[in-house]
Amino acid sequence: MISSSMMMTPTSTNHPKIAVAFNPFFPSREEDEKEKQRLLQKLQTHQVSKVYIQFGTNIQRLHSSLEWLTNLQHNKQGQDNESPFNFTICGSIFLPTSKLIAQQKFRPWKGVYLCDDFLSGDLHVAKDIVVNMLKLYEEHGAEILIEAPGVRNEKDMELVKMLLKERDLVMSRDNKVGEDDDVFMMKKTRKEKSNKIVVKDIKNSADKSTPGKNSLKFKPSPLVSQSALEATAILLFGSFDVRLRDNEALQLASHHSSIIPVFLWSKEEQQKWGVRGAIEVVLKDALQNLSGQLESHGLRLICRNTIDSTEELASLCKEVGAKTVYWNREQTTESRALEKRRKERLQQNNGVTVVECRSSLLYDVEKMSLSTGFHGGHWGTLMPFLKGCKKQFGEPKRPSFKHETFAILESLKEKVSSAVEERSFEWPHGIQVEDLDMAVITGTQRWDVPILERFSPMSEESASTTLNEFASKGLPFYEIERSRADLEWSTSKLSAHLRIGTISPNEVYYKAMDSASLSPEEIKTFWRRLVWRDLAYYQLFTFPLMRETSIRAHYENTEWVTGDEEKRRLEAWKWGKTGYPIVDAGMRELYETGWMTQSVRMIAASFLTEYLRVNWVKGCEWFHYTLVDADSAINAMMWQNAGRSGIDQWNFVMSPENASQDSSGEYTKRWVPELSSLPKGVIHRPWQAPKAVLEREGIVLGKTYPHRIVKNLKEERAKSVEHVLSMRRSSQQFNNERGYDLITLPNGERTVVFTKKEYRLDQNGDVFVKSSSSKGGKGLYKKKQEKIRIRSEKRQRRR
């Protein structure tokens, strides 16, 4: 803390100069801002002569902080009447040795934030990160401090020399962009200097590790000629890949002399299952953050509103002379048609090469082949799909490293800057992200505000922070607690980031797989849900109409409620007025914030289809409009299964009365506040509360909280089951000898699909008699779950 006696005027020279520490690597924005304010307060004493930057490995954070500090040195962010702050910068580095990395991984220093890439044990990666840091310090005129244990012997000194040499090579490659050799050598001679090196805590101990070759290798696409690489390329972003890290299209486009990042928005092209409703809010926020990130590297995101994005793209290619366009494939029914149209238009009329990439799924689902029948699970269910992926494709590719992305962006910055100076490149016109015809609120109710309060900022950094927080607070307990809506970290909170693409599924997958402290049993459900996500896209590829047409075609004849009764039930469900608190809590949370946890989505879907007997398509449409993570493939797969017409019928019924998802009642209290004063035992069944309790708490059912939309759940579900059986009896051609449904695949083959026991009919149309199932498998499963539960409880006690 700086006392008032230390607040000196700029002319004071009688006080000793001091050096202060600065940490730009705090994970949260709030802590980062506090740290900046603390430093500013110290600088305003005008007694600070040097700022020591603490060691950390977030290259993007380091870059922005160095820019901020150098601006302070030149008073670009100070008051008009205040002189510049007179201080030098000294940046800390660790020598990337096996021993030091192992020590930091086992027992990290307090306040030192090291990324998983640096701690992975791959010395090539750690070395690349340090080289990038040295480059940044050199560019900003900073001294270098080598942190303890420092340089202890000749081998360490050789490592220091090698790192500086690597830094100079990287800088020379960047600086040479767009210059002939003579001009480059003149500039190099004028600039050539080495950082002042400060070594902290020199000791005498040897380390046998030596860094290897640069791992930063992304080869150009074989579709693009060398001459085309010397021309400008367009990098087209979509609504699902709004990130720079682990973006294959960016990696390939970066080989060009210059690139133009582009986002084209056509409201007319969204149609029923595109970007509409709540997802527009988070997408716009993500685009604003992407734009800012690009600007920090001297690039621009060119945004345009358009009616026809294909013609707009063709026009833009002609305008800037681009002969190559890069994009990531979206993998939906509409996007396939749109991408095909764009590709044909660009190649035939403009002679433009299109490079299509894949960055939104773990696997290429279009190349996946599944055998019909039962193979460790029925066709199209998770386990056969998972085994097929592993067999046909192997493990998912590892995500690119953050420092590699940073290096790509810095290289592009140099290329574009040189091209602009030489007048061989200029930016085309575009509009600001906020001017896109997206998430435009026309009424008086600012329904976007609660969504932004919950999800903003939608950025890569925010996604990474959320993932890291979940890995420490939620993943160790996920196997046991994942269905709980009343616990903060029971789920990862990454669904919106995965949908918009501010994080890649590969990064999330390997965060779980690399969790050395957790057993395979503790992480399997979490990482399998990423494969389950791919499965949804495989199903959508196989059944393009599945978002509103039953995959089991004969289920289209299922009887649902209709007319005024359907409207009455559906409206009560939409607005959280069904009289069943756990359902109402979920639906209210959904409408206000655009999100609810998976277990609550399932109980809401089960309630609508099983008890209210409303067609699943109605629920699918509402979820798509109100979810910030509205994913038409995942959404449709869930709703088809809830409506019994999907590949994997739900083999369970979720009671809206038991509410095991909210055993504490805290979730319901938050979203149904009119019942918050009820005891835990009756908060999910207020109609069972004693009359005296209701009167005491001022609760009048039918007035302060609605009566149940349907009262006899058993009767409603019996009707639901009978309607399915009636439909199946009239469709015996889709029934095999064991009572399972048969479906026809696009290639004409027929396959059996999982069918719940209560719907299995014999050839006479009678329900098969239920046989007693083997208890061995269930017993083994229960034993495994018990082990996980015990392990989870031990972790809880250490929380």
Q: Which residues are annotated as a binding site for FAD?
A: 478, 491-495, 526, 629-631
Residue 340 CB neighbour total at 10 angstroms: 10
Measured CA angle at 655 (ends 653, 656), to 5 deg: 135
User: Of the candidates 66, 34, 37, which has an alpha carbon nearest to the alpha carbon of residue 51?
Assistant: 66
Using DSSP's 3-state secondary structure scheme, residue 272 falls into: coil
What 8-state DSSP symbol labels residue 610?
Answer: I
The Cα–Cα gap between 351 and 322 comes to 10
Sign of CA dihedral 633, 634, 640, 644: positive
**DSSP line for 652-706:** S---TTT-GGGTTSHHHHHH-GGGTTS-TTTTT-GGGS-HHHHHHTT--BTTTBP
Quick one: tokens of 262? 């582009």
Residues in the chain: 799
Go through 216-226 and write b for each residue having 16 or more CB atoms within 10 A of its CB, e for each that does not: beeebbeebee
Binding site listing: 478, 491-495, 526, 629-631
> By the 8 A CB rule, do 774 and 401 touch?
no
The Cα–Cα gap between 751 and 19 comes to 73
User: Of the candidates 327, 299, 283, 237, which has an alpha carbon nearest to the alpha carbon of residue 452?
Assistant: 283
Quick one: tokens of 674? 């009119």
> By the 8 A CB rule, do 629 and 498 touch?
yes
Q: Which amino acid is at 463?
A: A
Residue 32: φ, ψ to 5°: -60, -45
The Cα–Cα gap between 85 and 47 comes to 9
Measured CA angle at 358 (ends 352, 364), to 5 deg: 125
The Cα–Cα gap between 539 and 219 comes to 32
Q: Identify the residue whose tokens are 């970290």.
A: 489
Q: Which residues pair with 262 in a beta bridge?
A: 236, 302
> By the 8 A CB rule, do 661 and 582 touch?
yes
Q: Which amino acid is at 794?
A: K
Quick one: tokens of 532? 């389950």
Q: Identify the residue whose tokens are 């809880």.
A: 796
**Dihedral of the CA atoms 534, 536, 539, 543 (nearest 10)?**
-130
- Order of strands across the sheet that contains 88-93: 18-22, 48-53, 88-93, 143-146, 197-199
The Cα–Cα gap between 558 and 549 comes to 12
Q: Identify the residue whose tokens are 């994913």.
A: 631
Query: In sequence order, which ranges of 245-300 are alpha helices (DSSP H)?
Result: 248-253, 278-295
> By the 8 A CB rule, do 132 and 173 touch?
no
Q: Which amino acid is at 326?
A: Y
The Cα–Cα gap between 493 and 629 comes to 10
